[in-house]
Chain A
Amino acid sequence: MSAHLIATPSAATYGEEAKPRKGFFTDTSVCIGCKACEVACKEWNHVPPDPQGFSGSSLDNSGELGANRWRHVAFIEQKVSVGIEEAAPESFVEEAARQNLVEEGLDPHSDEDGFRWLMSSDVCKHCTEAGCLDACPTGALFRTEFGTVVVQPDICNGCGYCVVSCPFGVIDQRKGDGRVWKCTMCYDRLKDDMEPAGAQACPTDSIQYGDLEELRERAARRVERLHERGRGEARLYGDSEDDGVGGFGAFFLLLDEPETYRLPADPVVPTRRSPEVWAAALGAAAALIGGVAASFLGRRP
Chain B
Amino acid sequence: MGSNMAEAHPVGFQWVVEARERGAKVIHADPRFTRTSAIADLHVPIRAGSDIAFLGGIVNYILQNGREFREYVQAYTNARTIVSDDFRDTEDLDGIFSGLDREGRAYDRGSWQYKGMEVQPAGGGEFTVEKAEGEQAHGAHGGELSEGEPPYEDPTLEDPRCVFQLLKKHYARYTPEMVERICGVPREASLEVAESLCENSGRERTSAFVYSVGWTQHSVGVQYIRTAAIIQLLLGNIGRPGGGIMALRGHASIQGSTDIPTLFNILPGYLPMPQAEAESSLDAYVDSNASPTGFWGNTRAYLVSFLKAWWGEAARYENEFCFDYLPRIDPDHSHYRTVVDMEDNKLEGYFVMGENPAVGSANAKLQRLALAKLKWLVVRDLVEIETATFWMDAPEIETGELATEEIGTEVFLMPAASHTEKDGSFTNTQRLLQWHHKAVEPEDDCRSELWFMYHLGRRVREKLAGSERERDRPILDLTWEYPTVGPDEEPDAEAVLAEIGGFDAEDEPLHDYLPLRDDGSTACGCWIYAGCYADRVNQTARRVPGREQSWVAPEWAWAWPMNRRILYNRASADPEGRPWSERKRYVWWDAEAGRWTGEDIPDFVADMAPDYVPEEGATAQRGLRGDEPFIMQGDGRAWLFAPSGIVDGPLPAHYEPHESPFENPLYAQQANPVREEYRRPDNPYNPTFPEPGWDVYPYVMTTYRLTEHHTAGGMSRTLPFLAELQPEFFCEVSPELAAERGLEHRGWATIVSSRTAIEARVLVTGRIKPLAIGDRVVHQVGLPYHWGHRGITTGDSANDLFPFALDPNVHIQEVKAATCDIRPGRRPRGPALPEFVARVRREAEER
Contact = CB atoms under 8 A, between A and B. Distances in A.
Contacts of A205: 14
A137 interface: no
A140 interface: no
B33 A96 contact: no
A34 B725 CA distance: 10
A54 interface: yes
A96 B727 contact: no
Interface in B613-653: none
A204 B38 contact: no
A204 B20 CA distance: 11
Given A54-B746, A102-B738, A111-B188, A59 B722 contact: no
A136 to B, nearest CB: 29
Interface string A54-72: 1110110110000000000
Contacts of A118: 38
Contacts of A156: none
Nearest to A114: B43
Contacts of B75: none
Nearest to A102: B739
A99 interface: yes
Interface stretch (B387-395, B509-517, B766-774): B766-774
Contacts of A107: 736, 769-770
Contacts of B727: 51-54, 61
Interface in A13-51: 30, 32-36, 38-39, 42-43, 49-51
Contacts of A58: 763, 765
Contact of A32 (B21, B39, B189, B763): B39
Given A107-B770, A108-B772, A96 B707 contact: no
Nearest to B728: A54
Contacts of B730: 54
B736 A56 contact: no
A107 B746 CA distance: 22
Nearest to A108: B772
Nearest to B44: A109
Contacts of A35: 707-708, 725
Most chain A C-beta atoms within 10 Å of own C-beta, residue among B6, B38, B770: B38
Interface of B is mostly: mixed
A50 B706 contact: no
A97 interface: yes
A38 B10 CA distance: 14
A92 B38 CA distance: 15
A119 B35 contact: yes
A135 interface: no
Contact of B724 (A50, A92, A115, A204): A50
Contact of B13 (A32, A56, A59): A32
Nearest to B777: A106
Nearest to B763: A56
A35 to B, nearest CB: 5
Interface in B41-97: 43, 45
A164 interface: no
Nearest to B776: A106
A217 to B, nearest CB: 18
A102 B735 contact: yes
B17 A38 contact: no
A116 interface: yes
A224 interface: no
Contacts of A59: 35, 706, 726
B577 interface: no
B708 A203 contact: no
Contacts of A99: 738, 744-745
A99 B706 CA distance: 26
Contact of A34 (B10, B735, B738): B10
A50 B730 CA distance: 20
Nearest to B730: A54
B7 A34 contact: yes
22 contacts: A30-B39, A32-B6, A32-B10, A34-B6, A35-B708, A36-B10, A38-B725, A50-B724, A51-B727, A51-B792, A61-B724, A92-B767, A93-B745, A93-B765, A96-B738, A97-B764, A99-B738, A106-B772, A108-B771, A115-B767, A119-B38, A203-B11
Interface of B: 6-7, 10-11, 13-14, 17, 21, 33, 35-39, 43, 45, 186, 188-189, 706-708, 720-728, 730, 735-736, 738-739, 744-746, 761-767, 769-772, 777, 792
Given A56-B746, A93-B766, 17 more contacts: A33-B6, A35-B708, A42-B721, A61-B726, A92-B766, A96-B738, A102-B738, A106-B736, A106-B772, A107-B769, A108-B772, A109-B45, A115-B767, A117-B33, A117-B38, A118-B38, A203-B11
